[in-house]
């Protein structure tokens, strides 16, 4: 187990370097000059442009910029944005908001999605099953931004239960609606995955054995059926946590949540290299850690899987 984790952590290193370099390359080779763009429609002042480029290390060849950036990164310095704020500060503001939003969405899809999948998987062909299938199909086929606008119109404009946008991004209760919208698509997948998986496992030999042993139905379902059916769901959920954090751009935009998605969107538009690379680097790490946890969970769920 320990050596397996160590091996996985070591594997992360090349992935980390490779992905950050690719992101760095992409951001810095985008067309247009970010420093000249600071001047808007007006002609950029060459002397000031030269000075600013030097200040942001943009007058160096790309490989030098990358080495410089990585060098600073290992000293914990993510660089400085054009506003003069350090990228570390910007991330310290925005990540907690997005983490909360993503965790709430995650909890929502996990609890509701599993419950729906369980109900419909156990009662295939019933009214509840059909209902779940239709509902999830609707959610899957509607783009997130449409869902968000519908939710905004119904719950804020018509019913007046909430404000249309989030007034204080640090207030958990205001994040409920955006979190439900954000988690709804994954919820549909979780429900459908669980349903299929349970349907398959219901006919498995160990299920028949468990029932034949006379175990209470509750134990059969939770200890045997659910646990074995969770493997594909956990795979999905693991990668989804990263996706929720990086993919919140649309939801955060519509509900004006000042999280990582909004910051990233603005930084890409302004071609603010350090901010984009910094945020994406952290997201890459989140993905890597999440997939490691998923792999470790397999062993917990399925006794046949062993890590030596």
Nearer to other proteins, 39 or 63 (CB): 39
Nearer to other proteins, 30 or 107 (CB): 30
Nearer to other proteins, 51 or 219 (CB): 51
Q: How far is the CB of 30 from other proteins (least distance, A)?
A: 8
Helix orientation angle between 127-141 and 87-122, rounded to the nearest 10 degrees: 150
Give the binding site for other proteins (CB under 8 A). Answer: 31-34, 36-43, 45-48, 50-52, 55, 82-85, 89-90, 93-94, 152, 156-157, 160, 163-165, 167-169, 252-256, 258, 262-263, 265-266, 269-271
Q: How far is the CB of 101 from other proteins (least distance, A)?
A: 14
Residue 93: strand, helix, or coil: helix
Write down the H helix ranges in the chain.
2-28, 34-37, 46-55, 62-73, 87-122, 127-141, 144-151, 176-202, 205-212, 217-219, 227-246, 249-254, 260-269, 273-301
Q: How far is the CB of 37 from other proteins (least distance, A)?
A: 4
| DSSP string computed for 159-208 | S-SS-SS-S-TT-GGGGHHHHHHHHHHHHHHHHHHHHHHHHHHHTSHHHH
Q: Name the region of 57 (left: φ>0; alpha: ψ -120 to 50; beta: rest).
A: left
Q: How far is the CB of 251 from other proteins (least distance, A)?
A: 11
Nearer to other proteins, 52 or 226 (CB): 52
Nearer to other proteins, 195 or 271 (CB): 271
Q: How far is the CB of 21 from other proteins (least distance, A)?
A: 23
Whole-number Cα distances in Å, 264 to 177, 270, 299, 300: 22, 10, 36, 36
């Amino acid at each position: 187990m320990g050596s397996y984790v160590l091996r996985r952590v070591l594997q992360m290193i090349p992935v980390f370097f490779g992905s950050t370099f690719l992101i760095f390359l992409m951001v810095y080779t985008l067309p247009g000059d970010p420093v000249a763009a600071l001047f808007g429609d007006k002609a950029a002042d060459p002397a000031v442009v030269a000075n600013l480029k030097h200040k942001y290390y943009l007058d160096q060849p790309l490989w030098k910029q990358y080495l410089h950036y990585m060098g600073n990164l290992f000293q914990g310095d993510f660089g400085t944005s054009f506003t003069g704020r350090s990228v570390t500060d910007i991330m310290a503001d925005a990540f907690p908001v997005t983490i909360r939003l993503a965790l709430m969405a995650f909890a929502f899809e996990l609890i509701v999605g599993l419950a729906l999948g369980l109900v419909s998987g156990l009662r295939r062909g019933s009214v509840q099953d059909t209902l779940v299938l239709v509902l999830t199909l609707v959610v899957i086929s509607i783009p997130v931004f449409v869902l968000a606008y519908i939710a905004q119109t119904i719950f804020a404009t018509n019913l007046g239960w909430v404000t249309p946008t989030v007034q204080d991004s640090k207030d958990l209760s205001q994040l409920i609606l955006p979190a439900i919208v954000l988690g709804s698509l994954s919820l549909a997948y979780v429900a459908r995955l669980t349903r299929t998986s349970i349907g398959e496992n219901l006919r498995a030999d160990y299920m028949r054995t468990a029932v034949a042993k006379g175990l209470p139905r509750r134990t059969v379902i939770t200890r045997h059926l659910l646990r074995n059916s969770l493997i594909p769901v956990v795979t999905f959920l693991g990668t989804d946590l990263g996706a929720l954090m990086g993919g919140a751009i649309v939801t955060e935009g519509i509900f004006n949540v000042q999280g990582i998605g909004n910051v990233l969107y603005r930084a890409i538009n302004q071609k603010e290299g350090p901010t984009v690379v910094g945020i994406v680097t952290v997201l890459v790490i989140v993905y890597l850690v999440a997939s490691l946890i998923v792999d470790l969970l397999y062993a917990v769920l399925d006794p046949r899987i062993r890590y030596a």
